[in-house]
Amino acid sequence: MEPKTLFDKVWDAHVVEKIDGGPSVLYIDKHLIHEVTSPQAFAGLEARGLKVFRPEKTVATPDHNIPTVNQHLKIEDDLSRNQIETLTANCKKNDITLYGLNHPKNGIVHVVGPELGHTQPGMTMVCGDSHTSTHGAFGAVAFGIGTSEVEMVLATQCILQPKPKKMRITIDGELQKGVTAKDLTLYVIAQLGTGGATGYFVEYAGSAVRNLTMEGRMTVCNMSIEMGARGGMIAPDETTFEYVKGREFAPKGEDWDKAVAKWKELKSDEGAVFDKEYTYKAEDIEPMLTYGTNPGMGTGISGNIPTADEVEASELPTFKKSLEYMGFGLGDKLLGKKVDYVFVGSCTNGRIEDLRMLASLVKGKKKADSVIAWIVPGSKQVEKQAQEEGLVEVLEEAGFELRQPGCSACLAMNDDKIPAGKYSVSTSNRNFEGRQGPGSRTLLASPLTAAAAAVTGVITDPRELF
């Protein structure tokens, strides 16, 4: 039999039908929805007089547009409240499980899915959100879709999708102390550029990836879209099984043994062919930081912003426009630049390990007075765990406060907006113009680098603070 890639194995097992010269009808095992990209899909369904085809395969949680303070009070903004109430009404009407606001399992959709065991190896998963790639960390084919596609899944549990090409990114070696999964992914994106993996589905491999925890793997797969890839995935192994085992929706007893036996086959066969391959060394990666207005504009923290000579001539006008927005100059050094805000949270870095990293660095130190820090757990469960582990106490002693879960300042749909012109070191995934609020200036980094900025008030190499 011809050797197959991990991606092919999962994709091919879900093809209902392939249209000649066109897309495939792909069956979806798990559909996640939230309040922003689903209302028009439900309205479309209603206009056609249809019911949700397989309501038990869809799970809902509001996250993008919820407040991160006083969640028990009525949401003041009419439009936001309406969006969240619409999600509630749509779920109720269609028998869809909803982890609503204030529900003990509410949280960011890509944090909730894995922590409840909805996310499992070998699944196809979609959500009207590009960071659905997160779930690929479990060896699932998971990708973001538009609202018309959400409607397709609600109506038929299927989606029409052209099969992407395959890319493998191998990172061998050992990450240095102070270098995290976030740095690994920002490094890869800086190498490939923001469109470098467009048209591809990525498999991450190599010893550095294998040695990551599940949460680290989720951070890496989460950011796949930032180099244009539809999704990223990692072959499941003991680390994966250990994480999934015992979670609410994970298979139990005999079913568990059967599932693991099946999941163990989910890896790329020896000799499987990828359309493109890249290989990097973990030792070459230092804490990373972005300086521009797309996630590909990143460098090691000790590095400089490229000079005009180092940028391709055709790209220089866009590059300069980006630096102008950021208030930076060609060739500038990043260390020592002033920081106004620090945001720790999002589907990229809002999990318990991220809060542990933050706490480990700020313990016994104080937040700089000049910095406003927003620490936003990815879910109610993460919030609870942070309290139980004493992390909240450590953070409070250092002058930090925990807000309530949600997407928050990652996309600034709610009131968590960085003011115009202010610099934010953020553990989120996008540094686009205005992403964290009109005129905001975002520098993407790991929780450790964010913590270092929060206690010093300037861009600081976290390795100097251990």
Partner 1 sequence: MPIDKFTVLESTYVPLPIENVDTDQIIPARFLKATSREGFGENLFRDWRFNPDGSANEDFVLNDSKYSGQILVAGKNFGSGSSREHAAWAVHDYGFKVVVSSFFADIFRNNALNNGVLPVVVSPEFLSKVFAAVEADNGQKLVVDLEEQSISLNGEKEEFEINPYKKNCLLNGFDDIDYLLNKKENIEEFEQE
Q: How far apart are the first and last CA of the chain?
A: 52
Residue 283: partners with Cβ closer than 8 Å, 6 or more residues away: 173, 174, 176
Cβ distance to partner 1 smaller for residue 132 or 299: 132
Q: Contacts with partner 1: how many residues (CB under 8 A)? A: 69
Cβ distance to partner 1 smaller for residue 8 or 35: 35
Q: Choose the stretch contacting partner 1; rule: CB under 8 A; options: 18-26, 166-174, 258-266, 360-368.
A: 18-26
Cβ distance to partner 1 smaller for residue 40 or 213: 40
Among 43, 260, 330, 368, binds partner 1 (CB under 8 A): 43
The 3-state DSSP class for residue 199 equals coil
Q: Choose the stretch contacting partner 1; rule: CB under 8 A; options: 103-111, 128-136, 265-273, 364-372.
A: 128-136
Among 25, 273, 330, 335, binds partner 1 (CB under 8 A): 25
Is 127 labeled as ligand-binding? no
Output the CA torsion 257→261→263→269 (10° steps).
170
Cα separation, 106 vs 378, whole angstroms? 9
Query: How far, in whole angstroms, is CA 288 from its chain's centroid?
Result: 17
The DSSP code for 122 is T
Q: Choose the stretch contacting partner 1; rule: CB under 8 A; options: 19-27, 246-254, 255-263, 357-365.
A: 19-27
Kindly report the number of other CB atoms within 10 A of residue 46's CB atom: 13
The 3-state DSSP class for residue 126 equals strand
328 phi-psi bin (left φ>0, alpha ψ -120 to 50, beta other): beta
Q: Choose the stretch contacting partner 1; rule: CB under 8 A; options: 39-47, 98-106, 174-182, 358-366.
A: 39-47
Kindly report the number of other CB atoms within 10 A of residue 375's CB atom: 29
Among 207, 279, 302, 318, binds partner 1 (CB under 8 A): 318
420-449 residues in contact with partner 1 (CB under 8 A) are: 420, 430, 432-435, 438-439
How long, in residues, is the chain? 466
Please tell me the number of Cα atoms within 13 Å of 216 on its side-chain side: 16
203 — phi, psi (to 5°)?
-110, 130
Residue tagged 């469960």 (tokens): 381
- Residue 68 CB, nearest distance to partner 1 (Å)? 15
Is 91 labeled as ligand-binding? no
Check: CB of residue 157 under 8 Å from CB of residue 27.
Answer: yes
DSSP lists the bridge partners of residue 26 as 15, 159
Cα separation, 238 vs 366, whole angstroms? 39
Among 1, 2, 20, 369, binds partner 1 (CB under 8 A): 20
Q: Choose the stretch contacting partner 1; rule: CB under 8 A; options: 123-131, 252-260, 272-280, 298-306.
A: 123-131
- Asked if 331 interacts with partner 1 (CB under 8 A), we say no
- Asked if 16 interacts with partner 1 (CB under 8 A), we say yes
Helices (H), 162-301: 181-192, 207-210, 214-222, 238-244, 253-263
Residue tagged 């036996």 (tokens): 261
230-249 residues in contact with partner 1 (CB under 8 A) are: 230
Cα separation, 77 vs 435, whole angstroms? 20
148-187 residues in contact with partner 1 (CB under 8 A) are: 148-149, 151-152, 155-160, 162, 164
- Residue 43 CB, nearest distance to partner 1 (Å)? 7
Among 88, 97, 170, 198, binds partner 1 (CB under 8 A): 198
Sign, CA torsion 443/449/454/455: negative
Cα separation, 215 vs 185, whole angstroms? 13
Is 407 labeled as ligand-binding? yes
- Asked if 40 interacts with partner 1 (CB under 8 A), we say yes
- Residue 283 CB, nearest distance to partner 1 (Å)? 30
Among 5, 8, 10, 27, binds partner 1 (CB under 8 A): 27
List residues binding partner 1 (CB under 8 A): 16-17, 19-23, 25, 27, 36-37, 39-40, 43-44, 47-48, 50, 64-65, 77, 79-80, 82-83, 86, 128-130, 132, 144-149, 151-152, 155-160, 162, 164, 194-195, 198-199, 225, 228, 230, 294, 315, 318, 321, 411-413, 417, 420, 430, 432-435, 438-439
Binding residues for [4Fe-4S] cluster: 347, 407, 410
Binding residues: 347, 407, 410
